[in-house]
């Protein structure tokens, strides 16, 4: 397990033991590890590529002072980088050449655009080869082809457990081995599961399990919703890993038998 923060990446074993630390030149905002062990790291304004030993082997072009890189995903020879500052997903090849943009407002293609009120903006590629992109300001997860066509979306703003409440949720999501989604919300902190079509399945954990109970506010504006946002990762064994950014720990959840 790789965890980014404090100008470093920490690597943990399956039992939670710390194995090593990779020091970085800046504060990492997101990362992705690929099959050969290379690590793609989103720093303040650009992507850095490290080899399995943690040595820098490539530094991609800067995206400017407005960039806020929040998520990285890869599919075959394509790398997708979510930039909350510019409100777009950037499509690169594996050498760092910019190929295109995903999610930009385009009425001719029936793409309404991404609404990113805060620096929480996630992207993943599902097993069907389609790109899943969080659109937190619209309270939904959108599906795009790799060349940027909007196919469909699911999710709705609602205070009910099935929906996403507040101004800007989900803040993070992950895809389970069976294609289901794990979502994380801030304000009213909770982690939930939806099936591959976006149908609500159940709750993994709520404020009582994730906090001391204080993070239970439904915030309607970005200014109200400045609290912590937890990240989520789906393990190959179906376990769900929640990065608790208040206690600086990783919580592990397994399905009840």
11 cis-preceded (ω within 30 degrees of 0): no
Q: What is the pLDDT of residues 115-134, one digit of tens each?
A: 999 999 999 999 999 999 99
Please state which architecture CATH assigns to domain 1-62.
Beta Barrel (2.40)
- Tell me whether the CATH fold assigned to 1-62 matches the one assigned to 165-257: yes
Per-residue pLDDT, 167: 85
Domain range list for the chain: 1-62, 70-154, 165-257
Range 77-86 burial, b when 16+ CB lie within 10 A, else e: ebbbbbbbbb
For the domain with range 70-154, which CATH number is right: 3.30.1490.20, 2.40.10.500, 3.20.20.70, 3.40.640.10? 2.40.10.500
Phi-psi region for residue 238, left (φ > 0), alpha (ψ -120 to 50) or beta?
left
Q: What is the pLDDT of residues 217-241, one digit of tens each?
A: 666 666 666 667 899 999 999 999 9
Alpha helices, DSSP H, located in the chain = 207-210
Token digits of residue 120: 């929480």
Per-residue pLDDT, 256: 83
Percent of residues in the chain assigned helix, strand, coil, to nearest 5: 5, 45, 50
The pTM of the full predicted model, rounded to 2 decimals, is: 0.93
Per-residue pLDDT, 68: 97
Measure CA 135 to chain center.
11
Question: Domain spanning 165-257 has what CATH number?
Answer: 2.40.10
Exposed (0-12), middle (13-18) or buried (19+): which is 213, by Cβ within 10 Å? exposed
Per-residue pLDDT, 241: 97
| Largest interatomic CA distance in the chain | 52
How far apart, in whole angstroms, are the C-alpha atoms of residue 88 and residue 111? Answer: 12
């Amino acid at each position: 397990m790789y965890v980014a923060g404090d100008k470093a990446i920490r690597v943990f074993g399956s039992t939670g033991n710390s194995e090593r630390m990779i020091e970085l030149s800046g504060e990492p905002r997101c990362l992705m590890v690929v099959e050969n062990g290379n690590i793609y790291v989103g720093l303040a304004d650009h992507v850095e590529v490290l080899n399995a030993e943690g040595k820098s082997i490539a530094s991609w072009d800067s995206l400017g002072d407005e960039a806020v890189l929040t998520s990285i995903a890869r599919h075959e020879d394509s790398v997708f980088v979510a930039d909350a500052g510019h409100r777009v997903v950037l499509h690169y090849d594996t050498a760092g050449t910019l190929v295109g943009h995903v999610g930009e407002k385009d009425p001719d293609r029936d793409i309404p655009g991404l609404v990113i009120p805060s620096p929480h903006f996630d992207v993943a590629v599902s097993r069907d080869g389609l790109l899943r992109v969080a659109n937190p300001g619209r309270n939904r997860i959108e599906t795009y082809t790799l060349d940027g066509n909007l196919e469909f979306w699911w999710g709705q703003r609602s205070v009910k457990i099935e929906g996403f409440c507040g101004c800007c949720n989900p803040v993070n999501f992950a895809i389970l081995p069976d294609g289901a989604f794990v979502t994380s919300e801030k304000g009213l902190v909770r982690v939930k599961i939806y099936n591959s079509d976006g149908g609500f399945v159940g709750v993994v954990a709520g404020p009582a399990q994730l906090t001391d109970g204080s993070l239970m506010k439904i915030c309607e504006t970005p200014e109200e919703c400045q609290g912590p946002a937890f990240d989520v990762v789906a393990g190959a064994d179906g376990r769900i890993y929640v990065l608790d950014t208040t206690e600086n720990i990783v919580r592990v959840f397994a399905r009840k038998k």
